[in-house]
Structure 1
């Protein structure tokens, strides 16, 4: 099926030609964490039908945002991953999340949640500290990692078990406040509302009251 277009000579309209369809940016959010199998993508995108997910992935391959490849033995399974063009959407999603935080409100009974969905607001805030390193984040729903520095990102790819510069542990109350934009994770850490484990420069910046 040919790609639909707004047929407007505007960069924003051209961008929406590629990523404006329902589910596309959320698939990007998942793939920013690293290569994912189709079944894993479907599990972490509650509400998407199998047909819709397959269609969107094909659209993303067509538009040069994602690729599909087969892993070597012993896994021998297909995974989807972002291209360099697709990875350039990270700051777009960080900014979109910051803009949408005010509308998040209290969690509804029907709302799904995954630990790594908190990665986007945390990454945007921690990057502003200007320190490189790996951050392990522990929340009630699970554990994920952030990479700060020249190639920021999140996920557990290329992060060895136990290899982190600082560990942050957030309870449900702080998680919700950070997600809604009511408090920054740095301010929460300096106020003692986030447990900080580590001795390096990044950990010291997070403990430094007054910056």
Structure 2
């Protein structure tokens, strides 16, 4: 479970993720839930050291840069060992927070989660499911702001790129709209109960 919001107990995405975790535990009592808090754990953004470390095809170079690739390796192993990926994130300025982008940049890696082939790209994380828990100040599932949502389409695209195409979404939306805010999390929690788990 990837959690992104720095708002702690005031976070709508975290509150709904808690409900989802409880539901998963109730349905699959032997399941192991791994929670990764990207607000507390500051992942590195790709830089002049990390980028070559995770993209080199030269074995000698890979060995030399293995320490710089260690975090990426750990995150990818965690993803590939899971059956279900949950991403709980707020929408910031119509997109994802940079902390989540840093995680994506470290796990979307050639030779590990995708590979190029004659037919294009082959995702290597197939057979997994994903649930997106999205929180937003406005309403983006309908109405005039629908086309401004760059969170769900992007996450679905990048997950599909690595082979995860079974994706469900739960939204706590309207968090900054007084008439909707008080019911946004309860409505999303009810939607969790309707997910195919």
Specify the TM-score bucket, using the shorter chain as the normaliser.
Answer: under 0.3
TM (norm. structure 2) is 0.28
TM (norm. structure 1) is 0.26
Using CA pairs under 8 Å that are at least 6 residues apart, name the structure with larger relative contact order, 1 or 2: 2
